[in-house]
Structure 1
Amino acid sequence: MIVIKDLSKVFRTEQLETSALNKVNIHIKKGEFVTIMGPSGCGKSTLLNLIGLLDKPTEGKYIFNGIDISKENEKNLTQYRKGNIGFIFQSFNLIDELNVFENVELPLVYMGISASKRKIEVDKVLNRMNISHRAKHYPQQLSGGQQQRVAIARAVVSQPKLILADEPTGNLDSKNGAEVMQLLYELNMEGTTILMVTHSLKDSEYAERIIQLYDGKIVSENNKISQNREAIALN
């Protein structure tokens, strides 16, 4: 599904040049749950932004579903992003002026889906996330756990092939964090590919594979499926 070859990202200003990623190589299969870990500043979020088509690499190749993304223009990148990728952020990134229904509906609006079909899909995903009773509430009226459920609903409402999660439990207590990870696990079990950045060793145990980054380079990969993965998700 995702093939990354010698991917590098350099941030340049007039006085400074910073290498955020240095010749990274990754292969992610369809339906995998992969975690990226490493210290702050190692390039985790930069890598996620590149894979999510929010930024372009300085060098290297990025192939997504057989298409060489690194050669596409901004218009095409936007279309690939809308139709294929869902995002979940630590800070929720909900729009305060929109209620829960409207926040979740937004990706479908951008995709040009009709209002009647949007309502069907939004209602379905809100029920699944157990947040339908809050459909008319605004983000500031929700708890952190509820806001992240809304963010996950928004990420999956368009049925993307890939979900990118950047510290999805970082602003949550342990109970809400475990519930969010359970939701991600269930989505993965249904076939959704998930790439997650986290500092949490507990959260990483839900993944099938862990990639360790340090100073913009991959320093290790654990390809063994966690023996505790299913047990953790059931508890």
Structure 2
Amino acid sequence: MIKTTAISKYFRTDEIETIALNGVNLDIAPGEFIAIMGPSGCGKSTLLNIIGLLDSPTSGSYKLNGREVSALKEKERGQIRKGHIGFVFQSFNLIDEIDVAHNVELPLTYLGLSRSERRKRVGEMLEKVNMSHRASHLPQQLSGGQQQRVAIARALVTHPRLILADEPTGNLDSKNGREIMELLSGLNREGTTIVMVTHSDRDAAYASRVIHLFDGTIVGEIQKKQ
């Protein structure tokens, strides 16, 4: 599903060049659950942003489902994101002024789906994450764990085969964090590919493979027994 070859990313100012990624080679098969770990500033989120087509590499090759996507323009990257990739972040990024159902519905509106299809999918996803009973609530009326469940429903509502998660339990207590990881693990067992950035050994224990980054380079990985 994902193949990066010698991916590098540099950030330049007038006087300073920062190397965020340096020659990253990565192969992720459909249905894997990958955890990316490493110290702050090692390039984890930069790599996730490139995989998610939120950013482009300075050099190297990135193929998604066999298609070279590293040099696509933003409009083309956006089209792929909308239909194929779901995002879950540490900050839930919900819109406070609209209720749970409409937050989940937003990606479907951007895709131009009919109202009946949008409502059907929203209902299915809220049931999947056990939030149907909160459909008419505003985000600020929910706990942190409930807000993250809504964010996951929003990520799933377009039926993506790839979920990218950046510290998905970072703003949650241990109980809610464990429930969110169980939910992600269940999605993975159903066939969804998940790539997760985390500092947490507890969260990484749910992954089938753990990749360690240091100074923008992969320095090791652990393949877990299935």
Give the conservation status (yes or no) of the 8 Å contact 1:209–1:225: no
1:29-75 Cα distance to aligned partner (Å, 9 max, x none): 00000000000000000000000000110000000001100132221
Give the conservation status (yes or no) of the 8 Å contact 1:36–1:198: yes
Give the conservation status (yes or no) of the 8 Å contact 1:53–1:81: yes
Alignment coverage as a number of residue pairs: 226
Partner of residue 217, structure 1:
217
Give the whole-Å Cα distance in 1 for the aligned partners of 2:100 and 2:225. 36
Q: Secondary structure at the match of 1:164?
A: strand
Q: Secondary structure at the match of 1:70?
A: coil
Q: Secondary structure at the match of 1:54?
A: coil
Amino acid at match of 1:213: L
Amino acid at match of 2:91: S
Give the whole-Å Cα distance in 2 for the aligned partners of 1:135 and 1:3. 38
Q: Secondary structure at the match of 2:7?
A: strand
Give the conservation status (yes or no) of the 8 Å contact 2:33–2:194: yes
1:100-127 Cα distance to aligned partner (Å, 9 max, x none): 0111011111111111000000001101
Give the conservation status (yes or no) of the 8 Å contact 1:2–1:64: yes
Q: Give % identity.
A: 64
Give the conservation status (yes or no) of the 8 Å contact 2:56–2:71: no
1:206 aligns with 2:214: no
Q: Secondary structure at the match of 2:122?
A: helix
Give the whole-Å Cα distance in 2 for the aligned partners of 1:70 and 1:39. 26
TM-score, scaled to structure 1: 0.94
Amino acid at match of 1:72: L
The runs of at least 4 consecutive aligned structure 1 residues that moved more than 6 Å come to: none
Amino acid at match of 2:71: K
Give the whole-Å Cα distance in 2 for the aligned partners of 1:14 and 1:58. 17
Amino acid at match of 1:15: E
Offset of residue 13 of structure 1: 1.2
Give the conservation status (yes or no) of the 8 Å contact 2:5–2:62: yes
Structure 2: gaps of 5 or more residues: none
Give the conservation status (yes or no) of the 8 Å contact 1:24–1:217: yes
How does 1:165-176 map onto structure 2 within 5 Å? 165-176=165-176
Partner of residue 114, structure 2:
114
Give the whole-Å Cα distance in 2 for the aligned partners of 1:171 and 1:77. 29
Give the whole-Å Cα distance in 1 for the aligned partners of 2:219 and 2:143. 37
Give the whole-Å Cα distance in 2 for the aligned partners of 1:97 and 1:4. 39
Q: Secondary structure at the match of 1:195?
A: strand
Amino acid at match of 1:38: G
Pairwise CA RMSD of aligned residues? Answer: 0.8
Give the whole-Å Cα distance in 2 for the aligned partners of 1:184 and 1:225. 19
Partner of residue 94, structure 2:
94
Give the conservation status (yes or no) of the 8 Å contact 1:88–1:165: yes
1:164 aligns with 2:164: yes
Give the conservation status (yes or no) of the 8 Å contact 1:207–1:225: no
Structure 1: gaps of 5 or more residues: 227-235
Offset of residue 97 of structure 1: 1.7
Give the conservation status (yes or no) of the 8 Å contact 1:101–1:136: yes
Q: Secondary structure at the match of 1:71?
A: coil
